[in-house]
Amino acid sequence: MTVTAAFFYLFATITIASGFMVIASRNPVQSVLFLILAFVNAAGLFLMMGAEFLAMILVIVYVGAVAVLFLFVVMMLDVDFAALRQGFLQYLPIGGVIGVIFLLELILVVGAYSIDPGLVRSPAVPIPSPEVMTNTEALGQVLYTRYFYFFQAAGLILLVAMIGAIVLTLRERVGVRRQDISKQNARTQETAVEVRKVPFRQGI
């Protein structure tokens, strides 16, 4: 076994094991830490494939921003997970049926999978050598030329999802003072400052 194959099996094994521990761990903080471990090892696999740009994006964006944000949110919310698990048995039959359906679909897809002989041949657009074009430049040309509309559609979908998350979490709470930017901008000196003449040795 070569060194490259050994590193591939090492990264792949840790990635699969970490992905399993994400859903198997009872502690949500540990699940996020296993998710970070899975991202780092997946970045190692990308490096071995020669996609260094995707590896750096995976580490910087997902590990450095998304996973750390998940970790802070889980630690700061102090969610009562014991209360969330109370209705687990109630939804277990429905979840089991959905899980069986997904398992059958995966079995049908994997069982009927076959490699098209045309895909094994040389691609229609040959990949340029690293001396001619870097991996990052080649990826940018593909994204912003052939798949430009799909790239923009993915951005719009993420924008709609972000707006939907903000709308769902934006709720009116009784007794909580909210910031009104329009009222703050419309304030004048007369409404913002009140000058009172206080008598000597007396309070307001």
pTM for this prediction: 0.57
Domain count along the chain:
2
Domain end marker among 42, 60, 79? 79
Report yes or no on 101 lying in a domain.
no
> Do 2 and 74 share a structural domain?
yes
pLDDT tens profile 131-172:
677 777 888 888 888 888 998 999 999 999 989 888 877 766
Domain end marker among 45, 63, 79? 79
Report yes or no on 126 lying in a domain.
no
Report yes or no on 164 lying in a domain.
yes
Report yes or no on 114 lying in a domain.
no
Distance between CA atoms of residues 48 and 71, nearest Å: 28
> Do 75 and 138 share a structural domain?
no
pLDDT tens profile 9-45:
999 999 999 999 988 887 777 888 888 899 899 999 9
Give the residue numbers spanning the domain of 68: 1-79
Q: Helix, strand, coil proportions of the chain in percent (round to 5)?
A: 70, 0, 30
CATH number of the structural domain spanning residue 40: 1.20.120.1200
Distance between CA atoms of residues 18 and 42, nearest Å: 10
> Do 74 and 8 share a structural domain?
yes
